[in-house]
Amino acid sequence: MKQKKLIEDEVKPEIEIPEQTSIEAEYLQIEDITRDYRSLRASTDQDDEDYIHLTALNDLVYEVFHKSRWCALGPNKKIPKDLIPFVFQDLLEAMEQTEFSMVEKFVSICDFMNVGYLKAYELIHMKYKETIVNEMDQKFGIVSKKKIKKIF
Output 2 or 138, whichever has higher pLDDT.
138
In which band, very low, low, confident or very high, does the pLDDT at 17 lie, cut at 50, 70 and 90? low
Whether residue 82 lies inside any domain: the answer is yes
Whether residue 62 lies inside any domain: the answer is yes
Output 113 or 10, whichever has higher pLDDT.
113
In which band, very low, low, confident or very high, does the pLDDT at 79 lie, cut at 50, 70 and 90? confident
Structural domains of the chain, count: 1
Contact 108, 61 (CB under 8 A): yes
Q: In 10 A of CB 38, how many CB atoms?
A: 7
Whether residue 10 lies inside any domain: the answer is no
Q: Domain range spanning residue 94?
A: 45-138
Stated pTM of the model: 0.64
pLDDT of residue 98: 86
Q: Is the pLDDT of residue 44 over 70?
A: no
Residue 60: CB partners within 8 Å, gap ≥ 6? 95, 98, 100
What whole-number distance in Å separates Cα of residue 125 and Cα of residue 89?
8
Whether residue 122 lies inside any domain: the answer is yes
Whether residue 24 lies inside any domain: the answer is no
pLDDT of residue 139: 83
